[in-house]
Amino acid sequence: MRILLLLLSPFASLASQESEAPETVWVESPKHFNCNPSEISFKDSISISLGESSFDELAIFRESDKTWLFLVVGGAPAEMNSLMSPSELKSTKVLSLNSETTGFRWEYNGYNEKIFTVSGKYTVYNSDTLESEVGGYKCDIVVTGN
């Protein structure tokens, strides 16, 4: 038994080192990235203000069903209805999202769907590379009503 523990100890050390990897940093900074208003109903729209240091990609995470919906991404799949190109996003100062805005489910056999479909919390993310540890800006929206 003692030999088995000695053999396993390097693996335990390796596992603890892996779990200490730095988390992706998502900054809430209304000066650089702001959702206004932060609470809407289904019939309302939300304005997202992007500062001078805006990034190339934009996605929303819907808390209720843990779904990622991408709006702007480099190398988008052909079937994705992008809100705009990454270069257009980078030069945009304000964009608006409403009940008709769609995002692309970033998963196997992904598809476009309306973003605001249920009440609850939504988090908007802006980064140069969303699927990485690069990080970027985020802001939260709460959708109320039916």
Give residue-wise pLDDT tens across range 57-115.
999 999 999 999 999 999 899 999 999 999 999 889 999 999 999 999 988 889 999 99
Q: Domain-by-domain residue ranges, the chain?
A: 25-144
Q: What is the pLDDT of residue 127?
A: 86
Flag whether pLDDT at 19 surpasses 60: no
Flag whether pLDDT at 128 surpasses 50: yes
Long-range contacts of 72-81 (CB under 8 A, 24+ apart): 73/104, 73/106, 73/130, 74/129, 76/104, 77/104, 77/110, 79/104, 79/110, 79/111, 79/112, 80/104, 80/110, 80/112, 81/112
* 25-144 CATH choice from 2.60.40, 1.10.3470, 2.40.128, 3.40.50: 2.60.40
Paired tokens of 36: 């206004």
Report the mean per-residue pLDDT for the chain. 83
pTM: 0.80
Q: What is the pLDDT of residue 20?
A: 62
Q: What is the pLDDT of residue 21?
A: 58
